[in-house]
Chains A and B, each alone.
Chain A
Amino acid sequence: MASYKPVVVQAVPKLGEKVTQDTLYWRGYKTPVQIKEFGAVNKIDFSPVPPYNYAVTASSRIHIYGRYSQEPIKTFSRFKDAAYCATYRDDGKLLVAGSEEGSIRLFDISGKAPLRQFDGHTKAVHVVGFLSDKYRIFSGGDDYSSNLWDIPSATEIVSYTEHTDYVRCGCASKLNGDVFITGSYDHTVKVFDARTKSSVMTIEHGHPVESVLLFPSGGLLVSAGGRYVKVWDVLKGGQLLVSLKNHHKTVTCLCLNSSGQRLLSGSLDRHVKIYSTTSYKVVHSFNYATSILSLALSPEDETIVVGMTNGVLNVKHRKPEESKEKSQKKRQPAYRTYVKGRNYMPKQEDFFVSKPGKCVLRKYDKLLKGFQSSKALDAVLEPHIRLYTPEVTVAVMQELNRRGTLRSALAGRDEKQISLLLTFVTRRVIEPRFTPILVTVADMITDIYQPVLGQSAVVDKQFLRLQEAIGREIDYQEELLEVLGMMDALFATLTKKKATYLEENTSNGLTNTLDQDMCN
């Protein structure tokens, strides 16, 4: 048996940017804190151990910042010239940094003076890092060489001179203590194994490589250079998996979020883009004031720190999670209703009488069910429906029109109600989803209340406003049509060429199918 069917409120797809889970997540940061450094920030590195301090390398200093401090809690400033690439060791106790003069220095976090100094590079060292066995350091310099150093003895273990241009980036494998990767301005990324004399893999990026990154699993390699971010499958011998071109200037830095699900890239075009590592689509992007040189994300994505070319350090902290206790405060149902019958297990011979679920109708539906059209219209002209869910009001108007009772529902209203109706129509008639039905409504209102025009100043004013709104909309539509005409004219020149091309194509296609069928 059919029951009353409520009025269907047409759902219209929301226009504009789609709010995804990602947008919500990445929007959950507080307004940024700006810290001025002495020069361009070339490296930011988070300590892997709590309290997750981070080392910022800028100009000739290395500053260590605490999580919420705006002043550095420690500074290493024993460099004559610029320092580069201050990087923490896995245990967060040691810090290594390269420098313009070619020496590499190793610091203890608690001390001031360097513990070791590694000399050997003849030119600036832009990239240094620890191998995952903790006792060796790799470095890459402007003298085209990539070296491997032993920490205890402060000696060079091996030097690879395979790159043919500056080595500006690198990273070490987290799984294998012997493997590290360097990227160079000679457009290549090379994978080195400390146990061999030469590189084990060379990947051609196609642009000067600015940053490389290895996934925690070690299977995927990301390289950034030029406008491209490329993902390579290392296990398949360096096969290109995907090439991303979402920036319009050189991509300078890469970083993974803590879960490994999202890849972040910063660029000179002042944007940080966030990619999903499953689909490699941009899920979110951040906008900054100036070109970005370095980027780091703290564990648990608590803080995003971005370093700029003008020496500004931009720090964003995550908003504290909304407490979920609010929902728990809801009044619990009474003990009686809650427990009664809950613990009863039906026996085999029991009948189960299912009670049909009660269908709760909205007020306007109840009135429509009773064919009270005028009252139903009143119900949807209540302020909270009219203002916040105009689609409900319009849906009921449409339903009344379908039932043929819209005219009688609109008729017989007093000054206040007419003016209210007209305000609603004036405001919403220009919305494309409401236009068809509201034009009918406006038509009917003018029809019905034409004889009483001029009796009330308020209503007359509303009518004039409606006329004005419709006039404006018509002008706007005309303008749009003009634009369309212009665009058509532009496209016509394009399609002419294409048409000839198409004809050729069709004839070819036909012969092809013919041939195929002959073969069959």
Chain B
Amino acid sequence: MVAAAALRVVCCGGSPLHGARAVFSADARYLLCTSGDFVKVYSAATEELVRVLRGHGGLVTGVRLNPHNRLQLYSSSLDGSIKLWDFTDGILIKTFTVGYKLLALYALASCEDSVFAIIPKRGGRDTFQLVSVKLTKTAGQDVEAKEFSVVLEGVDASPKCTAFGREGEYVASVKNFHLQVYFFKRKQLNRFSLRATNAKGGNNLFTCVACHPKEDCIATGHGDGKIRLWRNFYHNKEYVFSTLHWHHDRVMDLCFSIEGTSLLSGGVEAVLVQWHSGSDCKKDFLPRLGSAIEYISVSSDGTLYCTLHTDNRITIINSNLRFSKSIQGLIKARDVKTGLVVDPRTKALVLNGEPGHLQFYCLQSDKQLYSLDIVQQEYIQQAGLNQTDLVKVAFSAQGKWLATVEEREEEPDLELHLKLWFFDEETQSFKLNTQISMPHDDHITAMCFRDMDELEDDSLILVTAGKDCLFKVWVILEDTDPEAQQSLSWSCDFVGSYHNYQATNCCFSEDGSLLAVSFEETVTVWDSSTWDLKCTFCHPPGKIRDISFGRLTCSKYLIGATDHGFLCCWNLLSCALEWSAHLNVVVLQPDPLSEHIAAVSWLSKESSLFVFKPNEPRPICIQRNLCKERIQFAAFVPRDVPETIGSEKYLWLRRSQLYFFTDTQELMTFSTKPPEERLTVSSKQLAVEESLPVTPFSLLLGKHRHQQSQGDIDLTKVVRNRHEQDSPAVKELLHTPAHVLPSASFLCPIFINSLLISKEKKSAEEVADEVEMESEEAEEDSDEEKDVTEMEQENIKPMDLFGEITCKLSKAEEKELRKVRKMDYSWISAF
């Protein structure tokens, strides 16, 4: 490890996946979608992330398959470039620099050498134009593509609002209350307008457009949930349209099936609607997809549909509207109220997921482990409804118990439920044990378990603090009646209050003997066995925002942060203020495995991190300008193996890793490793996938193809092949059934030949040795923190590194190729 690496903030959990419409590869095996600055390649069969295409310097706004080569992909980005990729191998083939922000990308089969893009109009503010960009076929990786012609003026920036019709004969674009159709051949522009509201008060705003692939028909979605099918739009006056109405709110996206026999639509209801042959009466539904549908796409063979959802989820659906798969990383709920909680059992991060659900998100594999339905009510996707929301979560020390609080605020009254879940070893999931309705008369502000490491249940205590000026202590009751269905249940044991102040925080000391509850400006400390008030602390002015006990050697200290910008440390032995510092702390988070406490401050539009031990007022580590956003929550996640950290300054990161959650719903963490080590091409999965259909025949056939198209051969693959299967000849020999093999005398020279070659190879291997080591090391790291992407802080160049490898390998690889070519497959022709 590098000794004095700087601490860098890195983003976890990926960027939103719903930036643009996803695209299926031609054989529907891969799903390509944008994710921040990257394009991600998922396997449609296994939902694994296969590859990440990195290279854009800005948000990727569109991906399209190259209509002339189905293995290639165009992507456009806000950095003003269009890139052409070979997505199966993750190679950047070309970069076309346009020089304008590209907001959407369209590629047509009928246009040989140009693609269409939406760019902002020069000089105009918030006006956009659809242009055709000419992609020159000059050699070289970086090509200027400054030659473009304007097709349509004044289009909407959203890629949903423009669509190309049958074989690229026309383009339809909607904006506000206008639909414009431009015919390329006739160079004619037809404009159709709707009134802002119709007779029934519906909103006629156009939201999206789709064109029928075989007929002259345009489907438009509207703000009031109507879908209009326009026909005969060649003439400005004689157009007709029919209306389909099912959605009760804004149609978010429309998409025709490949043959155009059915139309798919989606909206905020989270229901995918399939309209058959454009009639209002025949329709199929796929309800309860979780959250609002942002984009719908169809695979080119028509077998799969895919919906992108607003909460960062991809759903793959069979064409008979059967739910097939769901790709979900960190679900970004609208409002995270539970904070970041770590499940002690799985070390997964737990926070709000789907509405009414709790998501268990595995940080190592960037995957959702499972989603626990807490509210257990049918979720009605409708604006303006007061939904039941999950607001508080707490785990007991071993993760055996989970406590959740859900609330629903209807104007005059409040619905509150405290639920206690028991981890069932048999089913390996949480089971509802006790439900307490209205545990407090007002909102619950804090909740904590007594963190005792003992296994007995009777030491387990749950404390809830509420705005009704009370804190309540809940204990397990054991029902002695053997006939009762469950023997354990929770009930209230003690109710405490202090001068009718609202209880705002609660927290147990490490050994569980003391409970600290903050009541507005005062912190009270209670004995947890007798529930006597022991002492009170106060640091006026300012209400207590957060409190925390010190741990291990610092267990005699109590830390409190006030909203007047003070961080105070009280000594529990002397009952006096030990030290205080002027710091506007928004988050106070103790590390469960060490004495360190992390405090995140918010001052003049930047967040800073201070790590300190309670016994000394000097912080151990200060990290200013953490991010521009306000940090809402933080959590220490214990590492599986303590990391070796060279620098003294970052020793606090040894046992556990710190994660933050900002108010823009970004999950971030720290890394001490230099950027090169973190960024690697995850190529393993692809290798696995490719080796799936290993019939001897396909292997032989594949080799022949390789021979034929030698120039196109993927470099990395050959390197890999060399390690995986020592000699293809031997492999084939072993894999072919004995009864179809030619006589041994025929095979003997091949076999011997292969042995000879392996000796020749040595020199090539030596060259590659160094590179190999590096890549192996890198791969190990990537296991741990895959999909952790860089923030702005350091400028990384993954492509450089990658280029280096290919350069060095080229010689070795050429030799290898020659060998392959030399090999004698003539015995095949004998059959």
| Residues in chain A within 8 A of chain B (CB atoms) | 1-8, 10, 20-21, 279, 281, 368-369, 399, 401-404, 436, 502, 505-506, 509-510, 513-514, 517
Given contacts A404-B385, A510-B534, contact A5 B413 (CB under 8 A): no
Given contacts A1-B288, A402-B408, contact A505 B377 (CB under 8 A): no
B708 at the interface (CB under 8 A from A): no
Q: List 5 A-B contacts (CB under 8 A).
A: A8-B377, A402-B380, A509-B530, A510-B535, A517-B573
A2 CA to B288 CA in the complex, in Å? 6
Quote the shortest CB–CB distance from B798 to chain A (angstroms).
37
Partner of A509, one of B382, B527, B573: B527
Quote the shortest CB–CB distance from A262 to chain B (angstroms).
14
B380 in contact with A4 (CB, 8 Å): no
Given contacts A404-B382, A510-B535, contact A5 B527 (CB under 8 A): no
Residues of A within 8 A of B385 (CB): 402-404
A403 in contact with B288 (CB, 8 Å): no
Q: 5 tightest CB-CB pairs across the interface, nearest first?
A: A1-B323, A2-B288, A5-B378, A21-B483, A403-B380
B384 at the interface (CB under 8 A from A): yes
Residues of B within 8 A of A6 (CB): 378
Residues of A within 8 A of B622 (CB): none
B481 in contact with A21 (CB, 8 Å): yes
B483 in contact with A509 (CB, 8 Å): no
Residues of B within 8 A of A7 (CB): 377-378
Quote the shortest CB–CB distance from A12 to chain B (angstroms).
9
Closest to A508 in B: B532
A20 CA to B481 CA in the complex, in Å? 8
Closest to B388 in A: A402
Residues of A within 8 A of B556 (CB): 517
Quote the shortest CB–CB distance from B659 to chain A (angstroms).
28
- The dominant DSSP class at the B interface is loop
A279 CA to B480 CA in the complex, in Å? 9
B534 in contact with A506 (CB, 8 Å): yes
A509 CA to B290 CA in the complex, in Å? 54
A404 in contact with B573 (CB, 8 Å): no
A4 in contact with B413 (CB, 8 Å): no
Residues of B within 8 A of A402 (CB): 377, 380, 385-386, 388, 408
B760 at the interface (CB under 8 A from A): no
Quote the shortest CB–CB distance from B734 to chain A (angstroms).
26
Quote the shortest CB–CB distance from B513 to chain A (angstroms).
8
Residues of B within 8 A of A399 (CB): 377-378
Per-position binary interface string of chain B over residues 282-301, scored 1 when its CB falls under 8 Å from any chain A CB and 0 otherwise: 00000010100000000000
Quote the shortest CB–CB distance from B360 to chain A (angstroms).
17
A401 CA to B380 CA in the complex, in Å? 12
Given contacts A10-B437, A505-B532, contact A368 B378 (CB under 8 A): yes
B376 at the interface (CB under 8 A from A): yes
Given contacts A402-B385, A403-B382, A510-B575, 15 further A-B contacts (CB under 8 A): A1-B323, A2-B290, A4-B288, A8-B377, A10-B437, A399-B378, A401-B410, A402-B377, A404-B382, A404-B385, A436-B413, A509-B532, A509-B534, A514-B573, A517-B573
A2 CA to B413 CA in the complex, in Å? 30
Partner of A5, one of B376, B382, B481, B534: B376
Closest to B417 in A: A10
B372 at the interface (CB under 8 A from A): no
Quote the shortest CB–CB distance from B614 to chain A (angstroms).
15
B258 at the interface (CB under 8 A from A): no
Partner of A506, one of B413, B437, B532: B532
Quote the shortest CB–CB distance from B323 to chain A (angstroms).
4
Residues of B within 8 A of A21 (CB): 481, 483
B475 at the interface (CB under 8 A from A): no
Scan residues 327-373 of chain B and give those whose CB is less than 8 A from a CB of chain A: 373
A510 CA to B527 CA in the complex, in Å? 10
A310 CA to B527 CA in the complex, in Å? 57
Partner of B288, one of A3, A20, A279, A506: A3
Residues of A within 8 A of B533 (CB): 506
Closest to A517 in B: B573
A2 CA to B371 CA in the complex, in Å? 11
A6 CA to B378 CA in the complex, in Å? 7
Residues of B within 8 A of A403 (CB): 380, 382, 385
A4 CA to B533 CA in the complex, in Å? 49
A404 CA to B380 CA in the complex, in Å? 10
Choose among A4, A368, A402, A436 the residue with the greatest number of B CB atoms under 10 Å from its CB: A402
Scan residues 515-572 of chain B and give those whose CB is less than 8 A from a CB of chain A: 527, 530, 532-535, 556
Quote the shortest CB–CB distance from B70 to chain A (angstroms).
31
Quote the shortest CB–CB distance from A231 to chain B (angstroms).
18
A510 CA to B413 CA in the complex, in Å? 42
Quote the shortest CB–CB distance from A279 to chain B (angstroms).
6
A151 CA to B510 CA in the complex, in Å? 73
Residues of A within 8 A of B382 (CB): 403-404
A365 CA to B480 CA in the complex, in Å? 37
Closest to A278 in B: B480
Quote the shortest CB–CB distance from A436 to chain B (angstroms).
6
A369 CA to B380 CA in the complex, in Å? 10
Closest to B378 in A: A5
A1 CA to B373 CA in the complex, in Å? 12
Quote the shortest CB–CB distance from A384 to chain B (angstroms).
24
Residues of A within 8 A of B380 (CB): 402-403
A368 CA to B377 CA in the complex, in Å? 12
Quote the shortest CB–CB distance from A373 to chain B (angstroms).
11
Per-position binary interface string of chain B over residues 381-396, scored 1 when its CB falls under 8 Å from any chain A CB and 0 otherwise: 0101110100000000
B378 in contact with A4 (CB, 8 Å): yes
Per-position binary interface string of chain B over residues 249-275, scored 1 when its CB falls under 8 Å from any chain A CB and 0 otherwise: 000000000000000000000000000
Quote the shortest CB–CB distance from B269 to chain A (angstroms).
11
Residues of B within 8 A of A510 (CB): 534-535, 575
B384 in contact with A404 (CB, 8 Å): yes
Given contacts A502-B532, A517-B556, contact A20 B378 (CB under 8 A): no
Closest to A22 in B: B481
Quote the shortest CB–CB distance from B695 to chain A (angstroms).
20
Closest to B412 in A: A440
Residues of A within 8 A of B483 (CB): 20-21
Residues of B within 8 A of A517 (CB): 556, 573
Closest to A443 in B: B412
Quote the shortest CB–CB distance from A351 to chain B (angstroms).
18
Residues of A within 8 A of B384 (CB): 404
Residues of A within 8 A of B410 (CB): 401
A4 CA to B146 CA in the complex, in Å? 54
Residues of A within 8 A of B534 (CB): 506, 509-510, 513
Closest to A24 in B: B483
Residues of B within 8 A of A3 (CB): 288
Residues of B within 8 A of A506 (CB): 532-535
Residues of B within 8 A of A401 (CB): 410
Residues of A within 8 A of B437 (CB): 10
Closest to A283 in B: B481
Quote the shortest CB–CB distance from B47 to chain A (angstroms).
14
Residues of A within 8 A of B530 (CB): 509
A279 CA to B532 CA in the complex, in Å? 31
Residues of B within 8 A of A509 (CB): 527, 530, 532, 534
Residues of B within 8 A of A404 (CB): 382, 384-385
Per-position binary interface string of chain B over residues 469-493, scored 1 when its CB falls under 8 Å from any chain A CB and 0 otherwise: 0000000000011010000000000
A330 CA to B767 CA in the complex, in Å? 82
Quote the shortest CB–CB distance from A486 to chain B (angstroms).
21
Quote the shortest CB–CB distance from A72 to chain B (angstroms).
41
Residues of A within 8 A of B408 (CB): 402
A63 CA to B533 CA in the complex, in Å? 67
Quote the shortest CB–CB distance from A101 to chain B (angstroms).
50
Choose among A2, A6, A401 the residue with the greatest number of B CB atoms under 10 Å from its CB: A2
A366 CA to B232 CA in the complex, in Å? 42
A506 CA to B386 CA in the complex, in Å? 46
A513 CA to B511 CA in the complex, in Å? 13
Closest to B410 in A: A401
Closest to B514 in A: A513
Residues of B within 8 A of A4 (CB): 288, 378
Residues of A within 8 A of B377 (CB): 5, 7-8, 399, 402
